[in-house]
Amino acid sequence: MNEEAGFWIRFGAWLLDALIVSLPISILFGILTGDFENEPISNFLLALYGILVPVYWKGYTVGKRICGIRIRKYDTLDPPGIGTMLLRNVVAGLVYILTFGIGFIASILMVALREDKRAIHDFIAGTEVVRG
């Protein structure tokens, strides 16, 4: 079994994804459209990245690969499928929005303090993030 990934390594992976993937896409579409504040196309592409890349890359994103962590299904230990990633990103995102960010703060505390390091989006999707 792989060790659960804690808060700092997950945050590092998110930060790398932001710098390596999100920022260049946002800048590129800002230059192409002339609109650096409201970029629906780049937001859509970034949402697709967060959903599809872990499906096709066996639980990894660029940031997670660099940090040596990955998403997997909690019960079967398999890489996530499209349905799992939709639950993890879209449904959990709605929960975070509907709770005005309180759910997001609770997730941070859960990853930092729980022994299994699972956040709300992990419980919604039946996933965990592990090293390896």
Q: Read off φ and ψ for residue 70, nearest 5 degrees.
A: -155, 160
Identify the pLDDT of residue 29: 86
Phi/psi of residue 73, nearest 5 degrees: -70, 140
- Give the model's pLDDT for residue 47: 95
The whole-model pTM stands at 0.92
In the prediction, which pLDDT does 1 show?
66
- Partnered with residue 128 across adjacent β-strands are 72
CA atoms within 13 A on the CB side of 80: 30
- Contact of 69 with 5, CB cutoff 8 Å: yes
Q: What is the pLDDT along the chain (132 residues), one digit of tens a residue?
A: 689 999 999 999 999 999 999 999 989 988 888 887 777 888 899 999 999 999 999 999 999 999 999 999 999 999 999 999 999 999 999 999 999 999 999 999 999 999 999 999 999 999 999 999
What's the distance, Cα to Cα, between the start and end of the chain in Å? 10
